[in-house]
Amino acid sequence: MNASQDKLLAKVTQADYKYGFYTDIETDAFAKGLNEDVVRQISGKKNEPGFMLDFRLKAYSHWKTMKMPEWAHLTIPEIDYQDIIYYAAPLQKPTLGSLDEVDPELLRTFEKLGIPLEEQKLLSGVAVDAVMDSISVKTTFKETLAELGVIFCPMSEAIREYPDLAKKYIGSVVPYTDNFFAALNSAVFSDGSFCYIPKGVRCPMELSTYFRINMANTGQFERTLIIAEDDSYVSYLEGCTAPVRDNNQLHAAVVEIVVLDNAEVKYSTVQNWYPGDKNGKGGIYNFVTKRGLCKGDHSKISWNQVETGSAITWKYPSCILKGNHTTGEFYSVAITNNYQQADTGTKMIHIGKNSRSTIISKGISAGHGQNSFRSLVKVLKTADNVRNFTQCDSLLMGDQCGAHTFPYIEVENDSAVLEHEATTSRIGEDQIFYCNQRGIDTENAIGLIINGYAREVLNKLPMEFAVEAQKLLQISLEGSVG
């Protein structure tokens, strides 16, 4: 590293997190702390059927026996689970007939976030579910979707209205015994989105959920379930933001996807939780379990993620490729800037014959950020003719940050063909100067270079969001060079 690059990097300033505002709105919240009673109360608030309460209670008692995982390449400060509020909901009328009944302050919040909930104003072809703190605020386009038999509604509603589906699938891909955070989520999850795509239906619009943590000291524990019946297709997108706060907030979500014969689910995430300030104060702890099951033959799941937020991220969207001729994909861009830490990656579990998986990971580290990529490709005895391609690239900006890769491979079937490529590079001062010399300033040059680097992943996002994601990447790195 030469003197001038030092100088360039010394100019570090943190761009303001533009979603950091707090909405002053009346909230119904529990007292801090977690015990069996709290679990019961959450279930009660939601008028859940008995099976759900049973599930929660089992999860809770199991969770009590577990410890936080320590294998990740993360430094996680002690979390006091009794110092967290487990349920907080914006106060509003119990049922919403129309948008007029939604608290205008809430609507303004989502508008500020660039998520208009009034249907006529929505991006054409995108249905939105908005979740603030513990509950779903508003789901749009429900009627249009209902005509096709597509169910897109808050999880709490699905549990009441479609108990058979809920009972059959909740916990079927991520059992509450899976890991510490999954167990915690299973005990206290508050809301989230539920999608059901019936047989033969190609969902005509993107389904998307925006998650917003608003209240201080609350944890957000949403749970999402997507079921794609035979020959169906859906593209789903989630976005997340939170106010700027000095203390850390916990987000422990679970996403389960079940895909049947010939069906396909594309799940895209633009994760922009508050990352903490430039000194590493505050920010969201994002400990998430996401897993999809390619249950039917010829089924497909792709995970596409752009991860720019959170103080600490612990997340491995995975595919269980159970059916024959199934496909799992993972396309990821993860940025860590300032003092952010991310340990993220994927697992591809090949059970079915002729199953295929692709893993493309683009890590970007700047400031003091620590970026770890972890992948597991597991091929079981039953899985003949498996193919996997893994590409893991790391881009470093400056010399205070770190990139680490941990590729694991477990193969029990000799017919498997696995390819692995990895590169590490730096944003070159030469690249920036070349852009400067053409009249492009350093900020834009970095945006251009980063977006070029991440292009394979950005190309996988739905059009409307790819543009947003590009801007987000640039904003997240603003000031990290020059």
Partner 1 sequence: MLEIKNLHVNIEGKEILKGIDLHVRAGEIHAIMGPNGSGKSTLASAIAGKDIVEITEGEINYMGENLKDMNPEDRARKGLFLGFQYPVEIPGVSLVNFMKTAINENRKFKGLEPISASEFLKMMNEKQELVGLHAKLTSRSVNEGFSGGEKKRNEIFQMAMLEPLLAILDETDSGLDIDAMKIVANGVNKLKRSYNATILITHYQRLLDYVIPDFVHVLYKGRIVRSGEKELAQELEEKGYEWIEEEV
Residues 6+ apart with CB under 8 A from 298: 261, 262, 323, 324, 325, 326
Site string for partner 1, 451-470 (x = CB under 8 A): xxxxxx--------------
How far, in Å, CA of 444 to CA of 81, rounded? 42
396 is a site residue for partner 1 (CB under 8 A): no
For residue 426, the surrounding DSSP H or E stretch is strand 417-426
Q: Cβ 135 to partner 1, closest distance in Å?
A: 41
- Name the residue nearer to partner 1 (CB basis): 41 or 431: 431
Q: Cβ 452 to partner 1, closest distance in Å?
A: 3
Residue 376, helix vs strand vs coil = strand
Binding segment toward partner 1, per CB under 8 A, in 252-260, 283-291, 335-343, 442-450:
442-450
The overall longest dimension of the chain from CA atoms, in Å, is 67
Q: Cβ 72 to partner 1, closest distance in Å?
A: 29
435 is a site residue for partner 1 (CB under 8 A): yes
For residue 400, the surrounding DSSP H or E stretch is none
Q: Cβ 5 to partner 1, closest distance in Å?
A: 9
Binding segment toward partner 1, per CB under 8 A, in 223-231, 268-276, 382-390, 435-443:
435-443
- Name the residue nearer to partner 1 (CB basis): 36 or 441: 441
- Name the residue nearer to partner 1 (CB basis): 4 or 47: 4
Range 157-166, long-range pairs (CB < 8 A, 24+ positions): 157/194, 158/194, 158/196, 158/225, 159/46, 159/48, 159/49, 159/52, 160/46, 160/47, 160/48, 160/49, 162/194, 162/196, 163/49, 163/51, 165/196, 165/227, 166/52, 166/194, 166/225
- Name the residue nearer to partner 1 (CB basis): 127 or 435: 435
391 is a site residue for partner 1 (CB under 8 A): no
How is the chain split among helix, strand and coil, in percent rounded to 5?
25, 35, 40
Binding residues for partner 1 restricted to 5-64, rule: CB under 8 A: 7-8
Helix ranges (DSSP H) in 65-201:
104-112, 142-147, 155-161, 163-169, 180-188
- Name the residue nearer to partner 1 (CB basis): 377 or 396: 396
Decide: residue 247, CB within 10 A, 0-12 exposed, 13-18 middle, 19+ buried.
Answer: exposed
- Name the residue nearer to partner 1 (CB basis): 95 or 437: 437
Here the tokens at position 313 are 């991220």
Instruction: Confirm if 299 and 263 have CB atoms less than 8 A apart.
Output: yes
For residue 44, the surrounding DSSP H or E stretch is helix 36-45
Site string for partner 1, 414-433 (x = CB under 8 A): --------------xxxx-x
Name the region of 101 (left: φ>0; alpha: ψ -120 to 50; beta: rest). Answer: alpha
- With CB under 8 A, what is the number of residues at the site for partner 1? 28
- Name the residue nearer to partner 1 (CB basis): 101 or 421: 421
Q: Cβ 3 to partner 1, closest distance in Å?
A: 7
202: DSSP letter? B
Binding segment toward partner 1, per CB under 8 A, in 173-181, 255-263, 291-299, 445-453:
445-453
Site string for partner 1, 174-213 (x = CB under 8 A): ----------------------------------------
Q: Cβ 334 to partner 1, closest distance in Å?
A: 17
Residues forming the site for partner 1 (CB under 8 A): 2-4, 7-8, 428-431, 433-442, 444, 448-449, 451-456
